[in-house]
Amino acid sequence: MKLALYGELEEILEGAHLLQKKLGIEITSDGTPVRVRRMNNAEQGLTVSLSKGEGEIVYSERVTFFRGLGLFVEHVKDKEEFHLEEHQQFDTIGPMFDLSRNAVMKVETFKEMFQTLALMGFNATMLYMEDVYEIKSQPYFGYMRGRYSQEELKELDDYAYRFGIEIIPCIQTLAHLEEFLKWSTTAHLKDTRGVLLVENEATYDLIEDMIQTLRQSFRSHRIHIGMDEAEELGRGVYLNKYGYKDRLLLMTEHMTRVLKITQQYGFEPIMWSDMFLKLASKTGESHYDLTTEIPQEMIDVTPENVTMMYWNYAHTNKDDYVSMLRKHKDFGKQPAFAGGVWVWNTFAPNYNISLRASQAALEACKEEGIHDIFVTLWGDDGFENNYYTALLGLQMYAEHAYSKELDQEKLKERVKFCTGMEAEHYLLLNQLDTPPGVEEGNVEQTNPSKFLLWQDVLLGLFDKHVEGLDLANYYTNLEWRIKQIRNVELTLDYIFEVPEKLAAVLALKATIGVQLKAAYDTGDIKELERIATNVLPEILNEVEALRAAHRIQWLRMHKPFGWEVIDIRYGGLKNRLDTAIYRIQAYINGQTDRIEELEEERLYYHDITTSSGLGWSSYYYRIASPNVFFHVLPI
């Protein structure tokens, strides 16, 4: 399709040329004429139309033009005339990419992602970087972690800017710095394992180096300074060195120091709000407690020049969000909000939680007039999943951002146009974690695709959870269904390779531990021999196919640093399967009179009697073994 853009082109033409291949268009002088015009500053919206063979895109900010361009191309293929109007519901809308859990997206991959975000209409994104950006004065900051150089960050910022996408650095200036503070050279900066030592001048020198580096890399005037989940603050080296001090006082004094630095470098700070809600709660632990009242003394000592960001990824009741957003307003400033698409702690997105929680949250944000909205894509425990599986969830946020009420049919049409994949195909991925035993529509965290893969065949820590369930047929059918929707001509078809291979593994492995234990308990030597001779070797072959597919996917999307963690997990799984074969054969051959691992009673990993899921575990090392992987000291 040829388009002849004319009118106010100066700020959009370069970005439009970058999108030609993705949109299947050619911008030329002899195409369908499309007039481009920017609204006056008071307007916030988008108009896209085609009449008598001529098109028009009237937009309010740069990124809305690219959303409009996508809408024009989407509709011009089917209609001779149309008129579309949209109105922006938020000032800021964007995803947050967690780049700190090993999956550091390649610059080129990020550029592809920015093109998709532009078509969706996102005007911002946050890069969550604990230590994965270069600080020239700190050689161990992000060492061997795939950190971005200043040049790479500038390249990303420049590329996103072409589409009108603001990149906001999202860092940590208090907690969640375990990967930097593990080095012996950082001992003087450490309070506890992941928390910085406050009231320590070297700490503030480090933070200034952070802020100064980011100022040189990004044009945004905003910065997210983190400060979430700092429960250990003042309870380690600080306590030994200075004595006890109230955590609220420590927080606010530290904040004041950090805010002076951000102000010095022209940044407007945002921070997670959970520590204030926890300190105000009755237990001192919950930031979801709806009974929490923010005491006036807390409001009085909290600096005014920071935006509190309320995060909540799990509640499905709109009133919960309304209540908590109103509590945030007690601080005297409009809060920001961060929801989430659950791509963390599993191989598959949990859309049961993500879509229902996001719907409730976004309705509440509109009701409460919240201006700045983000959707987080965390990568906890090494990020076995990937960002692209979240695109249906991202599209949902984008459609909410341009309409008062979500149109489900339009959402499906838009995600198909912007990503090339049907909404149902993304939802199919969700089924990796919804086998028998998980209630339909379950909104609890459950991750069988992770724990059934990594759990040990002989130890079977989750076997009690899946006793009596026909998971073999379920995952065999799921593998077939994924194969049916594959289309190698689609750009994102490759993200289904790992789920397809994983389903093949789980069809064999999900309940093999249950079968093995039953055969051993009943003395069924023939069944034990079948498992050792046929089934476990076949699982080994399927695991290797999965590992190879996962490696290709990882290296296509991400820098190589961090893949070694997943690679080691596969190696451990394969070695333990090999050992299981060895142990069973030794028992069959009379070389040992028992298999001690199979003598043990199977217990629940944790109580699931009140759950609508199959249980969960956030950590590979806890799934793989109940024994000591490593010993973590408190400081």
- Residue 477 sits in the same domain as residue 608: yes
Between CA 385 and CA 568 the distance in angstroms is: 16
- Judge whether residue 4 has pLDDT over 80: yes
Least confident of 205-214, 272-281, 599-608: 272-281
**pLDDT tens-digit readout, 47-86:** 999 999 999 999 999 999 999 999 999 999 888 899 999 9
What residue type is 96 in one-letter code? M
CA distances, 360 to each of 328, 367, 426 (Å) = 18, 11, 21
CATH code, domain with 227: 3.20.20.80
Task: Name the CA dihedral angle for 48, 50, 54, 56, rounded to a multiple of 10 degrees.
Answer: -10
Domain count, the chain: 3
Q: Quick one: which of 441, 370, 359 has its CA closest to 396?
A: 359
pTM (2 d.p.): 0.97
**Total residue count of the chain as it appears in this document:** 635
Domain that holds residue 450: 430-624
Residue 42: predicted pLDDT:
66
Q: Which run of H or of E encompasses 7?
A: strand 2-7
Same domain, 190 and 58: no
Same domain (yes/no): 598, 473: yes
SS3 546: helix
Taking each helix axis from N to C end, the angle separating 391-401 and 423-430, rounded to the nearest 10 degrees, works out to 130
Which residue's structure tokens are 């040049």?
151
Count of CB atoms situated within 10 Å of the CB of 77: 10
Are 140 and 262 within one domain? yes
Domain boundary among 269, 303, 337: 303
Question: How far, in Å, are 222, 263, 298 from residue 332 at the CA level?
Answer: 19, 20, 12
For residue 402, name the pLDDT band (cuts at 50, 70, 90).
Answer: very high
Tell me, yes or no, whether 184 and 265 share the same domain. Answer: yes
Which tens digit of pLDDT belongs to each residue from 525-577? 999 999 999 999 999 999 999 999 999 999 999 999 999 999 999 999 999 99
Examine residue 58 and state whether it is found in any structural domain, yes or no. Answer: yes
Quote the pLDDT of residue 285. 67
Q: Based on the domain organization, do 79 and 117 belong to the same domain?
A: no
Q: First-to-last CA distance in the chain?
A: 61
Residue 325 lies in a domain: no
Is 219:161 a contact under the CB 8 Å cutoff? Answer: yes
Q: What is the CATH number of the domain that holds 64?
A: 3.30.160.230
Same domain, 111 and 67: no
The band of 314, judged by pLDDT with boundaries at 50, 70 and 90, is very high
Task: With respect to residue 441, please indicate whether it lies within any of the assigned structural domains.
Answer: yes
**Inter-helix orientation angle 391-401/351-367, to 10°:** 20
* pLDDT for position 15: 98
Identify which has the larger pLDDT, 612 or 498.
498
Of 48, 67, 87, the residue that ends a domain is 87
Sheet holding 54-59, edge to edge: 26-27, 2-7, 32-38, 54-59, 45-51, 82-87
Residues 269 and 209 in one domain: yes
Q: Is the pLDDT of residue 430 over 80?
A: yes
Kindly tell me if the per-residue pLDDT of 634 is higher than 80. Answer: no
Chain mean position to CA 140:
25
Q: Are residues 513 and 551 in the same domain?
A: yes
Query: Are residues 473 and 573 both part of a single domain?
Result: yes
- With CA atoms as reference, report the closest residue to 547 among 454, 480, 459: 454
Residue 223 backbone phi and psi in degrees, to 5: -145, 140
Residue 201 lies in a domain: yes
| Conformation bin of residue 110: beta by default, left when phi > 0, alpha when psi is -120 to 50 | alpha
Q: pLDDT band for position 608 (50/70/90)?
A: confident
Residues 105 and 158: their CA atoms lie apart, in Å, by: 17
pLDDT of residue 633: 59
DSSP 381-420: TT--S-GGGGHHHHHHHHHHHT-SS--HHHHHHHHHHHHS
Q: Which helix (H) or strand (E) holds 518?
A: helix 512-521
Question: Are residues 48 and 102 part of one domain?
Answer: no
Q: How far is CA 465 from CA 314, 319, 436, 515, 622, in A?
A: 23, 34, 11, 13, 16
Q: For 77-81, 136-140, 249-253, 306-310, which range has the lowest pLDDT when averaged over its residues?
A: 77-81
**Is 269 inside any structural domain?**
yes
Instruction: Looking at the structure, tell me whether residues 81 and 150 fall in a common domain.
Output: no
